């Protein structure tokens, strides 16, 4: 006997209506100097979020009811998109999740304050329009597209500056500003210094001293419960849309299985590699994670990542395309069972 728990991921986000971008403007942060930030946060943080190990769900209040916190199903969807983007670019999930939290509080429609050049940062990853264009991001308000681009940009900044702390500083203040500061030609804004400390627990000076020889020192393991605590403290329309789509059971009748196994982390890492390798072939597809509880193995869960298809012919066609290019896949019928939360 087994219990199947299908959880929709990207379809819920890809269907995010453009009309929701009734832009929410955040308070202006301190001046970042001559160069506008590559992706300034939407507003000053209301204090850093609790460290991952100490995070706890927000207490129920009229403004933030506990009932509005994301369910297990929605949280699995959010975790998968964050984990996939982080894993594909070699970033610790804890670092990436906390940086996006600092940027936008996971609000995909948020718009930042006007810069001196008349631009505003946009979306969940707070890309400036010209940065989004440089990185090939067509719609900064689409979190499905923006989060992988954000992780990709951070990985490049880490390669350029040598560690994650300076990468975060460059993401906030702009690469040129950080290079000038490292060369002794200027200072970092106080806002950037607070931003880096809130995300990493260390100051930019600490990261500069560590250089390329220093370890990132950021915990690799961040549980889904930790992310739920952060997200549940400020419920958003983003979560509401995910909840709605999960409840509707929007998984398509057929699926192309791309990775599977008993280790959730290994399954997600394998999917991240496949998604990066076959980005063109999988573009616009709707990945989902399926958790199967096998009673014969006690409480052990078996995880599968699939992309949906309306017909067996369509699923077989995609699998054949991937196979011709060296990929491995399997065509399976998706369960129509009851959707449950993990």
Name which residue leads in pLDDT, 124 or 150: 150
φ/ψ bin of 221: left (φ > 0), alpha (ψ from -120 to 50), beta (otherwise): beta
Domains 10-56+70-213 and 251-342 share a fold: no
Q: How far is CA 84 from CA 50, 262, 287, 331, in A?
A: 23, 17, 11, 22
Check residue 1 and give its pLDDT: 39
| Predicted confidence (pLDDT) at residue 113 exceeds the cutoff of 70 | yes
Domain segments of the chain as ranges: 10-56+70-213, 251-342
This prediction has a pTM of: 0.56
Q: How far is CA 218 from CA 93, 133, 163, 261, in A?
A: 9, 30, 11, 27
Task: List, for residues 267-280, the tens digit of each pLDDT value.
Answer: 887 888 888 788 88
| Predicted confidence (pLDDT) at residue 342 exceeds the cutoff of 70 | no
* CATH number for the domain running over 251-342: 3.30.70.1070
Name which residue leads in pLDDT, 142 or 149: 149
Pick the CATH number of 10-56+70-213 from 1.10.530, 1.20.120, 1.10.8, 1.10.3470: 1.10.530
Q: How many residues does the chain have?
A: 342
Residue 273 half-sphere exposure toward CB, CA atoms < 13 A: 9
Task: List, for residues 164-207, the tens digit of each pLDDT value.
Answer: 999 999 999 999 999 999 999 999 999 999 999 988 889 999 99
The whole-angstrom separation of Cα 336 and Cα 251 is 8
């Amino acid at each position: 006997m087994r219990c199947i728990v299908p959880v929709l991921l990207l379809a819920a986000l890809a269907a995010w209506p453009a009309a929701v971008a009734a832009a929410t403007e955040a308070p202006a942060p301190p001046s970042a100097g001559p160069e506008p930030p590559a992706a300034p946060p939407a507003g000053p943080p209301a204090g850093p979020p609790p460290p991952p190990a100490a995070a706890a769900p927000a207490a129920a209040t009229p403004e933030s009811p506990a009932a509005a916190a994301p369910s297990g199903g929605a949280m699995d969807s959010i975790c998968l998109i964050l984990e996939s983007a982080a894993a594909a670019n070699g970033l610790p999930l804890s670092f990436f999740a906390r940086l996006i939290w600092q940027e936008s509080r996971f609000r995909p429609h948020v718009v930042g304050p006007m810069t001196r050049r008349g631009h505003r940062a946009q979306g969940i990853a707070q890309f400036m329009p010209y940065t989004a264009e440089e990185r090939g991001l067509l719609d900064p308000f689409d979190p499905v597209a923006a989060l992988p681009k954000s992780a990709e940009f951070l990985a490049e900044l880490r390669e350029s500056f040598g560690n994650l702390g300076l990468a975060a500083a460059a993401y906030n203040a702009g690469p040129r500003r950080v290079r000038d500061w490292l060369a002794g030609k200027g200072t970092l804004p106080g806002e950037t210094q607070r931003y880096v400390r809130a995300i990493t627990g260390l100051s930019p000076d600490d990261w500069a001293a560590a250089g390329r020889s220093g370890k990132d020192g950021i915990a690799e393991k961040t549980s889904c419960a930790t992310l739920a605590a952060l997200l549940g403290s400020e419920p958003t329309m983003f979560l509401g849309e995910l909840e709605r789509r999960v409840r509707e059971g929007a998984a398509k009748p057929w699926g192309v299985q791309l990775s599977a196994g008993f280790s959730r982390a290994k399954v997600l890492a394998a999917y991240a590699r496949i998604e990066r390798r076959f980005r063109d072939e999988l573009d616009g597809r709707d990945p989902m994670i399926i958790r199967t509880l096998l009673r014969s193995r006690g409480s052990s869960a078996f995880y599968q990542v699939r992309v949906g298809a309306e017909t067996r012919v369509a699923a077989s066609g995609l699998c054949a395309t991937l196979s011709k290019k060296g990929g491995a896949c399997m065509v399976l019928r998706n369960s129509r069972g009851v959707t449950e939360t993990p």
